[in-house]
Amino acid sequence: MNKREFLKTGFALGAGLVTAPVFAGDRIFNKNYLGQASGFTQVKLPYAYNALEPYIDAATMDVHYNWHHAGYTANLNKAATEEGLFDKSIEDILSSVSRYPASIRNNGGGFYNHNLFWEIMSPSGGKPPKGAFMRRINKAFGSFEDFRTQFSQKAASVFGSGWAWLIVQNGKLLITATPNQDNPLMDVAPEKGHPLLALDVWEHAYYLRYQNRRTDYIGAFWNVVDWQAVEGRLE
């Protein structure tokens, strides 16, 4: 077993996956994650696995999307079936997540967080926001550079696994962080609000390329942020 295969196996077990993958070229599929007739659907990756290189490598994207995110999606659907939650949106479920078992909180968060994460990145990202949104950032944080510094510090300071967020809270922009797969939509979050920007700082998001250099990964992230998509979430 080579290093990549070992890490995939370890990551999969860590996400609670025990089913055997089906390999098709460089892409990994799992039969349990495909062809669901109902339930919550993993967002389609809007770019190729290697599209964010050199900042996020293809091997990481492969493992992250096809194992971790797919695993959260499958496990959420299993838990939602048991709890009878398919008549609710994921946002509604998360807003009262304290009422449900840990399987809903962990997998619902992992499902929602990753759907957002893929969609606020782009191969053509990295260009600063413009116009009213830039003015709003400047007003909230002093400058765009100050915002980046504060967000990067928040992401770097997450102990263990978690996420850093830019949210709208009562009409104001705010930087916050959550542990594990929690997010600001949850009624258990320390700061609640509508997520605009998310950065995954679990080791599986960066370890294949950056090993323990989380700050390097955070710095690279700014080169792929799609600020048009982030601003669009304000609407």
- The pLDDT tens digits for 12-55 are 434 443 332 322 222 333 333 333 446 999 999 999 999 999 99
Decide if pLDDT at 7 tops 80.
no
- Predicted TM-score (pTM) of the model is 0.85
Q: What is the model's pLDDT at position 235?
A: 78
Residue 38's pLDDT is what? 60
- Residue 204's nearest CA partner among 22, 5, 10, 49 is 10
Contacts of 230 (CB under 8 A, 6+ apart): 120, 129, 133, 166, 196, 197
Q: Which two tokens stand for residue 130?
A: 């413009």
User: What are the structural domains of the chain?
Assistant: 3-36+56-119 (1.10.287.990), 131-232 (3.55.40.20)
Whole-angstrom Cα distance, residue 52 to residue 221? Answer: 9
Task: Report the candidate in 84, 12, 16, 56 with the shortest Cα–Cα distance to residue 208.
Answer: 56
pLDDT at residue 30 in the model? 35
Mean pLDDT, the chain, integer = 88
Q: Write out pLDDT tens, residues 58-91.
A: 999 999 999 999 999 999 999 999 999 999 999 9
Q: How high is the pLDDT of residue 80?
A: 96
Average pLDDT over residues 127-153: 97
